[in-house]
Structure 1
């Protein structure tokens, strides 16, 4: 007898399907989902360092450096020296990133419409969002109290 879908399985599967769909859409623009994520983060928080961005997206700094190199080669991002520390580079979007950011926004709206369909009432969506925020908060707090890598 197969296991019934539980919330962990469903969350994993929905997230997986979303990643696949975003990967497909990013490839249509000769980009990766990871590059899209960096552009979105920099749009929301301009001037981050590569290390700050790496921590935010939970990857190694070298991974961010390579992604930023590609974004810089396409003219979407520039590195600027920090005003207080010439050793530090701050990341900023260039105007050339605006069209792709608009496309990403369209894809995000389409994904939301696809996810929610016509059959999820706004109250359900609001409750779901609140529940997911609480779950995230619980995991963050639990991680502060008992880091997983403390045992290693």
Structure 2
């Protein structure tokens, strides 16, 4: 049985700190590993978001990255000049540009994905296969609850 005693915010074992620290450390380890591909955190975040949502608008990408539209625009400009992203006019509304990864970016994403899988495997190596499944299930349930709360607040 798990210890049910409350852990206060003055303790490093507080769940809020633990979740935040795990996410931060995963990003830190991943950042170091993808640096050899020549990717910054901002760039790999853009690659990941556009891979999952090809054709997103600049506004949609800014929302996904949780940055303002101007910051997203500058990032997209740099990535477009580097040959990673291309803008295409929306078929219905010419004022909107849709964003797509180039072939070079898709290859980088494939390389990046292998590093991501290895990073997660390394992070979870202390868990048994059963514990990994349980962790995934519990994390998914918490994520679903937070999504419901975020939707209710919106």
Alignment-derived partner of residue 3 in structure 2: none
Alignment-derived partner of residue 49 in structure 2: 41
Aligned 1:112-131 pairs, distance under 5 A: 112-117=120-125, 119-131=126-138
TM-score scaled to structure 1, two decimals? 0.84
SS at structure 1 position matched to 2:37: coil
Calculate the aligned-residue CA RMSD, in Å: 1.9
Alignment-derived partner of residue 32 in structure 2: 24
Aligned 1:32-71 pairs, distance under 5 A: 32-71=40-79
Give, in whole Å, the separation in 2 of the partners of 1:128 and 1:12: 16
Is 1:143 aligned to residue 150 of structure 2? yes
TM-score scaled to structure 2, two decimals? 0.83
Deviation at 1:16, TM superposition (A): 1.4
> Can you give the 5+ residue segments of structure 2 that lack an aligned partner in the other structure?
1-9
Deviation at 1:48, TM superposition (A): 0.6
Give, in whole Å, the separation in 1 of the partners of 2:29 and 2:87: 30
Alignment-derived partner of residue 10 in structure 1: 18
Q: Of residues 64, 77, 80 in structure 1, which corresponds to 2:85?
A: 77
Deviation at 1:146, TM superposition (A): 4.3
Question: What is the total number of aligned residue pairs between the two structures?
Answer: 145
Give, in whole Å, the separation in 1 of the partners of 2:100 and 2:12: 46
SS at structure 2 position matched to 1:28: helix
**Structure 1 pair 92/4, CA: closer, same or farther in 2 (3 Å)?**
closer
Higher RCO (CA-CA < 8 Å; seq separation 6+)? 2
Give, in whole Å, the separation in 1 of the partners of 2:65 and 2:92: 25
SS at structure 1 position matched to 2:148: helix
Of stretches 19-28 and 30-39 in structure 1, the one that deviates more from structure 2 is 19-28
> Can you give the 5+ residue segments of structure 1 that lack an aligned partner in the other structure?
148-152
Give, in whole Å, the separation in 2 of the partners of 1:42 and 1:4: 35
**Structure 1 pair 71/83, CA: closer, same or farther in 2 (3 Å)?**
same
Alignment-derived partner of residue 104 in structure 1: 112
